[in-house]
Each structure stands twice: as C-alpha cells, then as structure tokens.
Structure 1
C-alpha cells in the first residue's frame, strides 16, 4: 500500500527532535530485553525451572517482534507512528510491571516474552518509519543514530538492573524499569506526522465512494423509470396500493447484485494472494537468497544465546565472584554499537562485496563461539564478548546485502522474509542451548553446537555466491546508483 506524501522530508529542523525522541524510545523499550542475560540467573533462582524452559522468556522477547514485523509495519502504515508508539509504550511498560507479579515461568513467558516482545516490535517499526519520513539526504545518519539506542539501552540497563536487583530485589527492579518505560508515551508526542496514515485515507475514500454510489444509484433509477405526466398516477405514487407480487423483485435484484460484488471481491483477493505466493516462490529460486535465509537463521540460532547465557556461564564456572560492574552483556552491547558503525562504513567501500562481508562476520562469530568452552578466565570471556558483539553488528548491513542479492525492486518483500528467518532463529536458540545444559549439565556441547551452526551458515553463503556459479538475474552488485534508490525506499525495508 502506498501512502501519498503530504510534505517533503525536512532533512533537519524538527527532524532532529524526532531523532532524539526515537533514540530514547528505543533506549527505553529495548534496554531490558537487550540485557535480559542479567535477569536470567535471577529467574533460575526464583522459579527453580530448567534452563531450557526459562530461556524461552529471553528468546521470545527478542524473536516475537521480528516474526511479527509484517504486522507491526502494517499497523504503522495504517494508523501512523505516533499512535503505534503510544500503544507500544503501554505494552512494554505493562508487560514489565506484570512480570514483577509472575507466579511461574509460564506466566513470565507471556508477560515478558510475548507482551514486551510485541511492544518492542511495534516501537521499532514506528521509529524507523517516522525517521525516514523526516530525512532524505541524511537518512542513513539519522537511522544510524536511532538504531544505536537499542545497544545503548542494553549497555546501561545491564548495569542498572544489577544495582536495582541488589537494592529492591527482582520484583522491584521490574516495577521500576516498567515505570521508566512509560516515558515512551511522552516521546511519542514529538513524532509529528508528515504523511497521512492509510487508515484515514481509506476512511475518506470509503466516504466518497459511498456518496458517489448513492448519486449513481439515483441517476440509474431516474434513467430506467419513464417520466410520467404529473396528472398520471403510477405505481410509485404512495397513494396507490402496490401489487404484492411485484414488490419482491427489486429486493431480489439487489441481493443478486450484492452477491456478484462479493464474488468479485473474493476473486480479487484470491488473485492478489496467489500473486504474492508466486513472488515469494520466485525469490527462493534465487540460490544466493536461499543461502542468505539459511545463514541468517543459523546465525541467529547460534550467536544470540551468548547474550543470555554468558553471565550464567561465568557464575556457574566460578569465573566471576558476585555481580561485576560491567557485565558481559554490557560488553556485548558496546561492541555491538562499534560493529554496526564499523560494518556499515565498510559496506560503503566500492570494492567491498557485502555478501562476502556478511559471511566473514558469521565465520568470525562462529570461531568465537567455539572458543567459549576452552576459556577458563573472566578476561577471556570479556574478549569473546567483544568479538561476538562486533560480529553481531552485521544486522546493520542486512538490508544492504538483501539489496545486492535481489535488487531494490524486491527489497521490501525479501527483507520481511529474512526478518522472519532471523526472528525464528532468535526464538529457538536460547531454549536449544538450555536443553543441552539440562541434558549434559554443561554448556560446552551447547556452545560447540552454536559455533558449528554459525560457521555452517557462513560457509553456505560463501559457497553459494562464488563466481563459478551461474548468475541469477536477481543477483545484482551493490552499485552506486542503487544506493540512492535504497536510501529512498529504506523505510519499507527496516519497518
């Protein structure tokens, strides 16, 4: 659905206030989910459940928003960024506060995993969309600034939640950060819309269509009925009784016309869905795109669990005494910011192949994961956290890689499919690692499994994109003229 622009992008002015509001909204929404590894040991201690079951909480809060990204972006397109951000603030805050009263892990999976996860997905789609509306030439800079809000929130919340747990306990910590999340509603007030949401356009179009249909019906009726002299009495005269046998005919004709309209609408919807399914099938015929889906799924499956389990690994092996000032989760988030900025700058180099760069980050992250069981010091885990965090910054180049593989015309559809695969991997990764621990009573096999998955994904992507294979017409290079088009259409991709 295309929404007509009511104003041009400003590239400054009030747009920078919108950037600040979006940064802080993402900071408050993603702060706790990005540092959920700090809460994970506390939940294990409180609820006394298996690591696999408890890990569903952290996996769902990060995966649900990505899996539901098509629904979230549809909400933003139809209702606008400001109402969606307000609603997401209520969801994030309510889910966090409700988690403070969770009687068991199953309730926590719903309140923290699903409610907070959906709220994060909504605010992410809304902030990306409103930022792209306000910026054109400086859109990349603006998106880079607000996207670091998630990592900055994870870094500060990891340390802050440690202190709040020591002072007020786990329940008090969740209540406090839930109350802070209510400020998302205040920041939504700064997101003044430039584009009319599709919902209001459809309402206006429906009203106009209704008026036009009424006028057309009157015209058709007047054309069909012969003009009678005023002195001549007709059956339409209310003073003359109508024949009961003739009265059902107009109602019967209207029923047939309504049924015909409904059948035509159903046929249009069916043709639209069939066309969409054929388009998706065409995407998967592209060898490199299929390999990219597999690589993103395996990367998310293997590289996300360390954010949840590294702190528990350090404590269970006696490598960390108590709670450190800067937990490993904070180190992962800081290096993630550096990875997003560094990899985003590298992909702009003309001779750089974005597909190979993404595959290289997967290979590096896989090697770091395989080194976790071999590390016997807290300093070693800190180094590995830096490496994993930097390589996880490849999320910032996913849209560039997608453009290079399928072209700008199919970016929106392909990016949504990739986000679905990524969200599924994030959702399944932590429970799988937790089940490995429950089975073996050790994290070693779990991280070997994670490292092999990530390495396998990077290897598949490299092999599928080798020049010796026949090129697909959708495999386009990252040319400079496409970069400008990509900047114009990025709102559809990131949302």
Structure 2
C-alpha cells in the first residue's frame, strides 16, 4: 500500500479536512430530517406508512450501497471529480423531487439519485483524508465526524422553518441548491499523488491475453477487490460481526425516522418535535469526536468489539423509553441518552471491522459490509411502516421492534465473539502442549512462503469514525 507524502499534512490538509467536514454535514446528516416531511408526504400522495417509508429507506440505503461504485470512480478519476459529480447528482435529485407527482418519482429522484450523489460526496471525502493525513489520521477522521453532528443539528431546524414557509416542494427545491455546496467542497480537494512502491520485475513479460479472457479476468478481479466473499467464508470473526450488524441495522435507524411523527401524533408542538432530532445532533458534536478518539487508543484494540456490543445493547434498551411515554420531557431525556450509544456505535462500527480483517483486504471487506448493511437499511423503515399500518399507527410497536433487533443483535455478537475467543484460547493451550498450531481464520487468507518473514508489508491503519 502506498503512503501519502510527508508534506501532505501541511496547512492545506486542514482546509481539506474542513471540506470533508462540511461534506459529511451535507450528506450523512441529511437523512435525519426526513421524518419532518413524513406526515406531509403521506397526506400529499395519500399513501400508507409503509409506502411513505420507502423514500427515506432508499435514500439511506443508496448512501451506503454506492460504496464500491464510488471507490471505482475515485480510483479512475480522483476524489475531486467524484465529490463534484456527487454534488451535482444530489442537487438534480432534490430539484427533480420537488416536481414529482407520485411516490415512485420521489423514490427515483430524492431516493435513488440523491442518495447515490451523497454517497459519492461522503466517501470521497473520507478517502481524501487518508491521502492527506498519515500520523494524524485518527484525529482527522474524529474531527471530520463533527460534520455529521452539525448536520443532524441544523438540518431539522432548517427543514422545519422552510416547510412552514414554502411547503415540502419548495423546501426540496432549496435543498437542491444547498447540495451544490458539495461541488465547492470538491473543488478544494487538490489531488495528492502518493509515493508509488516500485514493483520488482520477475522474468519476461507475459503474453497479452485475448480480449474475452482479459475482460473476464478484469471483472473477476474487480469483483474480488470490492466484494470479499472469501473473507466472509473463511474469517469467523468477520462473519459474526457482519451478520450481527446486518441484523441490528434493521432497528438502528428507526428512531431517527419515526421520532418526529411519534411526537407529533401525541400532541407535541411541531417546532419542539423538530428540536428533538437537533438535540441528538448537538449532543453528538461533543460525544462523537470523543468516542472516536477514545476508540482509536491502542490499549482498547482487543476490547473494541465488546465495547461496540455494549453500545448496541445500550441503544436497544434506550429505545424502550419511547414505547413507555411520549411526554416531551421524557423524549428530551431519551434523545440525550440515545446520543451516547449512537456516538459509540458510529465511532466503533468501522474500527472493529479493521480489527477483524487484514488491512490489505479492508477495502474489499468494507465493500461487502456496506452492501449487506444497505439491504437492512432499505428494509427497516418500510417494515416499521407496515407495523404502523396494521396496528392503527401505534408507534410503541415500532420502538419495541427497534429494541428487539438491537438487543438480539448485540447478544448474538457478544456470544459469538466470546465463543471465538474461547476457541482461540483452546488452540493456544494446545499449541503450548506441543500440538500443531491453529491459525486464526484471518491468517488463512494470506498465502505463506519461505520469505514471508522478510516480506511483511508495512500497512498503515485508516480509521473511519463516521456512520
């Protein structure tokens, strides 16, 4: 893996960090304000809760599922072009949605196109931080994650104000112009050419392949690079973690989508209901960077997966508060407590993944991880909307459903990690007694040779602290 030049952490790197922070505020913070438009969209299109819920689910799913495509564009055209294209797509999607006359048009414009554009802008911003920062990479990602908190704080307040004055169509039109600021952030991303490691030439060059086999080989290589099914098959820790996260994601985004409609249905003032999401975002401004910095400490490396499990369990237990009471003061306390577990999940989600797979395969493991994660994100809100339809808009079932997926996912991951750790200790004891050593699953993916001790790659860790 190539390293960024040492001068990359100079003065302009901090300008790039500011651009990445703004990009995260514009993209990752945006889906939290969709709940404010839920009731208006439902009335406009005369749709059920389940039908309306497909809009935020498609938007959020594309924000994650476009990761492999984004990495291809970054490798081909660079971070600047990719972020600019993302800003244009997000703008076109929101502007087009303001003229939609059906929910299907909203799914395509504000859901698919805007979500894909946000994905390009967000993930190219994360990638460019890895090029500009090396020694301070963990700090840079922790500071950039403040943008998510700022977005969660400001988007609901802006949405509530514009919705009252302009309606949802005028608000979406204004949002299209706001998304163009991603293009401004992209213009700041000066390309940084990493130092290329010279590759040794062994023997004469191979003869060129036929066009057909070359195309098939390229497709197969790209598939293995971006979707690592071999790691899912052979790495038990990665398999437990991925399945647990995919399951718990079915409940994790539900409070952000349904908290505002829940409060409105129980008589909370519209401005106070929008303020609830802003409370979550404001708390995350301080909690998310702190959690990211603490999670990057080396002494916690062996305990991060258990800390993540506890954060998921705590998040699931917290959601039960909303199933008990809809009083505004109770909901404020819920938002403050929910912010703690949400920050822990956001800070540890990708760092635990880095601990479980070799860093030279992290990119492909992340691609498969985000694809599977996006499936759960796509299904969660419509499934909750279906429960609302069959229970006569009883939101208590939605929060109980969220708690069920989170708590059961945490128990599955915690039990799986404990079982794997026990198995590893048994293997170590057997090795100490003279038995054959048992290689951990992730080591089985790395081919060995006689000079492996001399050819260990010098890999650097890229900490991603946003979700």
TM range (shorter): 0.7 to 0.9
* Cα offsets for 1:377-431 (capped at 9, x unmatched): 1111222222333322212222221122223333222222222222222221111
Question: Which residues of 2 match residues 302-313 of structure 1 at below 5 A?
Answer: 302-313=251-262
Question: Are 1:468 and 2:442 matched, yes or no?
Answer: no
Given that residues 9 and 133 in structure 1 are in contact (C-alpha distance below 8 angstroms), is that contact kept between their aligned partners in structure 2?
no
Report what 2:381 is aligned to: 430
Question: Are 1:129 and 2:127 matched, yes or no?
Answer: yes
Report what 2:236 is aligned to: 287
CA distance in 2, matches of 1:275, 1:422: 18
Distance 1:385 1:71, change over 3 A: same
Question: Which of residues 406, 410, 416 is equivalent to 2:361?
Answer: 410
CA distance in 1, matches of 2:94, 2:81: 20
Question: Are 1:450 and 2:392 matched, yes or no?
Answer: no
CA distance in 2, matches of 1:178, 1:270: 35
Given that residues 399 and 493 in structure 1 are in contact (C-alpha distance below 8 angstroms), is that contact kept between their aligned partners in structure 2?
yes
Report what 1:229 is aligned to: none
CA distance in 2, matches of 1:336, 1:158: 15
Report what 2:174 is aligned to: 176
Q: Which runs of 5+ in 1 are unaligned?
A: 199-212, 214-256, 477-483
- 3-state SS, counterpart of residue 162 of structure 1: helix
CA distance in 2, matches of 1:491, 1:448: 33
CA distance in 2, matches of 1:418, 1:330: 29
- 3-state SS, counterpart of residue 316 of structure 2: helix
Report what 2:83 is aligned to: 85
Q: CA deviation at 1:336?
A: 3.5
- 3-state SS, counterpart of residue 51 of structure 2: helix
CA distance in 2, matches of 1:76, 1:433: 35
Report what 2:317 is aligned to: 367
Distance 1:16 1:460, change over 3 A: same
Question: Which of residues 327, 330, 348 is equivalent to 2:275?
Answer: 327
Report what 1:265 is aligned to: 214
Given that residues 323 and 399 in structure 2 are in contact (C-alpha distance below 8 angstroms), is that contact kept between their aligned partners in structure 1?
yes
Distance 1:356 1:94, change over 3 A: same
Q: CA deviation at 1:303?
A: 1.3
Given that residues 227 and 368 in structure 2 are in contact (C-alpha distance below 8 angstroms), is that contact kept between their aligned partners in structure 1?
no
Q: CA deviation at 1:196?
A: 7.6
Question: Are 1:420 and 2:368 matched, yes or no?
Answer: no
Q: CA deviation at 1:146?
A: 1.9
The structure number with the bigger radius of gyration is: 1
Given that residues 287 and 464 in structure 1 are in contact (C-alpha distance below 8 angstroms), is that contact kept between their aligned partners in structure 2?
no
- 3-state SS, counterpart of residue 251 of structure 2: helix
Q: Which runs of 5+ in 2 are unaligned?
A: 197-204, 426-438, 444-456
CA distance in 1, matches of 2:287, 2:79: 28
Given that residues 3 and 195 in structure 2 are in contact (C-alpha distance below 8 angstroms), is that contact kept between their aligned partners in structure 1?
no
Question: Which residues of 2 match residues 340-419 of structure 1 at below 5 A?
Answer: 340-347=288-295, 348=297, 350-351=299-300, 353-393=303-343, 394-419=345-370
- 3-state SS, counterpart of residue 376 of structure 1: coil
- 3-state SS, counterpart of residue 8 of structure 2: coil
Question: Which of residues 446, 452, 462 is equivalent to 1:490?
Answer: 462
Moved more, 436-445 or 304-313: 436-445
Name the count of aligned residue pairs. Answer: 426
CA distance in 1, matches of 2:134, 2:224: 31
- 3-state SS, counterpart of residue 299 of structure 2: coil
Q: CA deviation at 1:308?
A: 0.7
Question: Are 1:459 and 2:411 matched, yes or no?
Answer: yes
Given that residues 154 and 333 in structure 1 are in contact (C-alpha distance below 8 angstroms), is that contact kept between their aligned partners in structure 2?
yes
Given that residues 79 and 197 in structure 1 are in contact (C-alpha distance below 8 angstroms), is that contact kept between their aligned partners in structure 2?
no
* Root-mean-square deviation (Å): 3.1
- 3-state SS, counterpart of residue 166 of structure 2: helix
Distance 1:197 1:373, change over 3 A: farther
Distance 1:66 1:131, change over 3 A: same
Normalised TM-score (structure 2):
0.83
Q: CA deviation at 1:280?
A: 2.2
CA distance in 1, matches of 2:116, 2:224: 29
Report what 1:43 is aligned to: 41
Given that residues 59 and 114 in structure 2 are in contact (C-alpha distance below 8 angstroms), is that contact kept between their aligned partners in structure 1?
yes
Q: CA deviation at 1:24?
A: 1.8
Question: Are 1:18 and 2:16 matched, yes or no?
Answer: yes
Given that residues 302 and 429 in structure 1 are in contact (C-alpha distance below 8 angstroms), is that contact kept between their aligned partners in structure 2?
yes
- 3-state SS, counterpart of residue 372 of structure 1: helix
Given that residues 85 and 122 in structure 1 are in contact (C-alpha distance below 8 angstroms), is that contact kept between their aligned partners in structure 2?
yes
CA distance in 1, matches of 2:195, 2:458: 23
Distance 1:268 1:103, change over 3 A: closer
CA distance in 1, matches of 2:191, 2:146: 23
Q: CA deviation at 1:294?
A: 1.9
CA distance in 1, matches of 2:73, 2:10: 26
Q: CA deviation at 1:267?
A: 6.4
CA distance in 2, matches of 1:116, 1:278: 24
Q: CA deviation at 1:285?
A: 3.3
* Cα offsets for 1:338-370 (capped at 9, x unmatched): 442233233226156001001001100111122
Distance 1:461 1:475, change over 3 A: farther
Report what 2:66 is aligned to: 68
